[in-house]
Amino acid sequence: MSKEPIVRDSLLPQLLDSAERLTRLENPPEFSPKDKARSRLPQLPDLYVDEGHLGSGGMGEVRVVLDVALRRRVAMKILSSEAARASATVQRFVEEARTVGQLEHPSIPPVYEMGADAEGVAYFTMKIVEGETLWSRLRSPDRPPGSPERLREGVEILTKVCDALAFAHSRGVLHRDLKSANIMLGEFGEVFLMDWGLAKILRGRAKVDVPRADDSPLAQKIEGTVGTAAYMAPEQASGGFMTIDERTDIFGLGAVLYEVITGTYPYPGKNDEEVLARARACDFTPPHEVSVDVFVPRQIAQVAMKAMAREPSQRYATVSDLKLDLQRFLHGGLYLPRITFSPGERIVVEGDPSDAAYIITRGECEVFKTVDGERRFLRRMGPNSVFGEAAVMSDLPRTATVEAVTPVTVLQLTRDVLDAGLGADRWESLLVKSLVERFRELEARVAAMENAAK
């Protein structure tokens, strides 16, 4: 049997003819699991040496092969014998290879070659992406939901995914399966948007050359609900094949952001039917309401909510617009450390050095001073109250003590964070410091007047 691949120009007709012949078999052969795995391996041309299984997907298997000429290992995606019986599946496999092969972007793994052996077993080779998925990273115990490390890293990763998706959209290609499991993270900061098997080409304005004849299997096939229900936009979950556009992918990105923020999917459910029903209704809990134990900065919650709006017209118009808001969040320094205090525990103490300011996100505190050995009550503070800012900006000792009355959670703003946010030499910083100094002068005058009145 010849091991030479089929000539590329005639690849698709040959594959479709092979699929038709397989479909017509009255008694297709049965394979054991071991034989099935072997049946997916093409008669590789001498250019490649098989080195073992890498992964599996809906249409077949991915194996590691050695490109003998270049001495590099590549991933070979192979269409399974079962999938090769369906002409539409063969067409989609070929379209995936051709589409990704033309999306030349640093965050989209390149396709190197497409071929088929003499028996019609189709394959294409692409870059091996080593690392872990974002799904796996988000479940790391050292990155719990609400932690500043998780939020900062997750948003930084999504800005890179935005770049890849914006490029694909500029070429007239939708991904349609945005989820954390399809985002790969390399060891040296690489971010790859994977698995373009469900990509939709926007015919009529696409800038990729992936022709499809009017009588092709996919042209005659009405596509229903495709993708992953837990991340789907309502129009996608409802099978609106003709109505989806770039904003459908934007919803998917928002759903991944939701997972970064909350640690859960937008549509949790007991079974696939329940999840899909919730996706069709766009029935998800706003991210800041998912858990009282997870602090969600309002700015990033608003980004997720806009990306996941029920009506496409209410979402970001472009992926670039979404990326801009993600960058604004990162540059705003709003991923702050959370600290909890028990009732009676003191957060700051009068006379201590001032190294940070605080924002209360949950609970209540009491502010007091010690005058002539007696505790003098000043005020009670609750959520969204800020304290300690005057002392930390003026670099003077604390002028009062703040004590937790109930269980309290605060965000800590260190002097470094404040300087980074304001800019040490910017006019905003000078203005704030001037206001703080005047406030301290006024406070000193009031104290002097109180002493004189005694």
DSSP string, 115-182: EE-TT--EEEEE----SEEHHHHHT-TTS-TT-HHHHHHHHHHHHHHHHHHHHHHHTTEE-----GGG
Residue 57 CB: number of other CB atoms within 10 A? 13
Cα separation, 345 vs 340, whole angstroms: 10
Q: Which long-range contacts does 107-112 make (Cβ < 8 Å, 24+ apart)?
A: 107/160, 107/161, 107/163, 107/164, 107/190, 107/191, 107/192, 107/193, 108/164, 108/167, 108/168, 108/192, 108/193, 108/196, 109/75, 109/192, 109/194, 112/67, 112/74
Cα–Cα nearest to 145, from 41, 38, 300, 284: 300
Place of tokens 């309002």: 298
Q: How far is CA 25 from CA 18, 29, 31, 435, in A?
A: 11, 9, 15, 85
Contacts of 143 (CB under 8 A, 6+ apart): 137, 149, 150, 153
Diameter of the chain by CA atoms? 108
- The answer to whether residue 177 is catalytic is yes
Catalytic residue (one of 163, 177, 195, 249): 177
Whole-angstrom Cα distance, residue 294 to residue 314?
A: 27
**Pairing between strand 386-387 and 338-341?**
unpaired
First to last CA, the chain: 108
What are residue 292's phi and psi, to 5 degrees?
-75, -15
Alpha carbon 444 to chain centroid distance?
Answer: 50
DSSP structure string for 91-114: HHHHHHHHHHHT--BTTBPPEEEE
Positions marked active-site? 177
